[in-house]
Amino acid sequence: MTIRVSFSGVQKTCLALVAAAGSFIAGVLMPVDPPSEPASVRLTNILKPAVKLDLEFPSVKAIADQRVEQWWDSITQGQDEGKKKQVFSSPASFQGKIVQQAELAGQEKVIALTFDDGPWIDTTEKVLNILKQYQVKATFFWIGKHLKLYPHIAKKVVVQGHAIGNHTWNHPYSLNPSEATKEIEDTATLIYQVTDVKTSLFRPPGGVLNNGLAAYAQQQKYTVMMWSADSRDWNTGTSTSTMIDNVLRNTRSGGIVLLHDGGGNRWQTVEALPVIIAEFKNRGYKFVTVPELLQMEENERKIRAK
Ligand SMILES: [Zn+2]
C-alpha cells in the first residue's frame, strides 16, 4: 500500500525550516572527534588569528608612522637638518679687539668654557652630552678642515645652543700673511654653509698674535678671543687632575677657560669636564657663552657711563 502525502507551498517551507533546524541541532549534539594534534600545535593554532588580525590592520601602523613624522616635524621645525640661522657678534666696543677675559664688577660670578679644534669624532659628542647633563652653554672654535670632515657633528653643536667661533682652516702657527685671508674666510664660508651661523669671534691657533691671522681678523672686525685659564689639555702629558687644577686655580669671574674637544685624543678633557663644571657650580659660578660674556661687560660699561 502506498500512502501518498501531498504538501502545500507553505507547508513545504515549514518543513524545510524544521529540517534545517534539525540538522543544526544534530550537528551540535554530535560527539566531537578527539583532538589528533598535540596541545602545543593546537595552542599555536589558537594564537594564529591574533597575528593575522595584526596584519589585517596595516592602517594602525600607518597612523603611528604619521604621528612619529608629525612629532619629528614639530621639534625640528625651522632647523633645516641642524641649521639654525644666527649671528654670534661682538658688541661694538669689542670689534677688532683682543680679549683675554671680561672685566666684570657685578656680584654675579660667571665663567665661559671654550672648546677648540673640533668638530671631532666621538669626543665632541661626549662633551655635548656632559654640557647638556649640567645645562651648560659653551663656545666652540672650529677648524675648517675638521668641519668639512664632520659637518653632522657641527650641526649637533649648533642645535644644542652653543656659540661658535672661527679657528682657521688648517690651524697654522706660521704662514705667509697673504694666506691669512684664505684661512679665515674659507672657514667662515663653510661654517655658514653647514650651519647657517655667522660669527665675529676668532681664536688664533696657539694664541699666536704676530703671524698675520690676528691682524687680518682685527681688520675684519672680529674679536680675537684669547683665554684667562689654560687647562693645557692640548699637551697629552697633562694629567686629568692637573688639567682640573690649571682651570680652577687661574679663574675668576669673567674668565675664559681654554679646553679642546678635537685635534687629537681628548679623553682626558672628557674625564676632567664634569669635575670642572661641578666645582665651578659649587663655587657659585654661572656658565655663559663668549658672546654673552662680552655683552655683560658691555652692559656694565653702559650703566657706568650713565
Ligand atoms: Zn687650536
Ligand 1 mean position to 261 CA, how many Å? 10
In a domain, 64, yes or no: no
Mark whether 171 is an active-site residue. no
Please pick, among 146, 162, 167, 260, the residue that the annotation labels catalytic.
260
Which uninterrupted H or E stretch holds 223? strand 223-225
Ligand 1 mean position to 205 CA, how many Å? 5
Query: How far is the CA of 304 from the CAs of 105, 110, 112, 255, in angstroms?
Result: 10, 19, 23, 21
Which residue in 267, 205, 278, 268 sits closest to 242, CA to CA?
A: 268
The per-residue pLDDT string of the chain (306 residues; one tens digit each, 9 = 90 and over) reads 444 444 444 444 444 444 444 444 444 343 333 333 344 433 333 333 333 333 334 455 555 555 555 554 444 444 566 677 899 999 999 999 999 999 999 889 999 999 999 999 999 999 999 999 999 999 999 999 999 999 999 999 999 999 999 999 999 999 998 899 999 999 999 999 999 999 999 999 999 999 999 999 999 999 999 999 999 999 989 999 999 999 999 889 999 999 999 999 999 999 999 999 999 999 999 999 999 999 999 999 999 888
pLDDT value at position 80? 60
Specify which residues 142 forms β-bridges with: 118, 166
In a domain, 81, yes or no: no
Ligand 1 mean position to 105 CA, how many Å? 30
Domain that holds residue 183: 86-305
147 CA to centre of own chain: 16
In a domain, 163, yes or no: yes
In a domain, 1, yes or no: no
pLDDT value at position 50? 38
- Grid cell listed for 239: 694629567
In a domain, 100, yes or no: yes
In a domain, 50, yes or no: no
In a domain, 61, yes or no: no
pLDDT value at position 199? 98
Please pick, among 116, 117, 230, 261, the residue that the annotation labels catalytic.
116
CATH number reported for the structural domain that contains residue 294 in this entry: 3.20.20.370
Mark whether 260 is an active-site residue. yes
Number of domains in the chain: 1
Ligand 1 mean position to 84 CA, how many Å? 24
- The residues whose Cβ lies within 5 A of ligand 1, an ion, are 116-117, 205
In a domain, 94, yes or no: yes
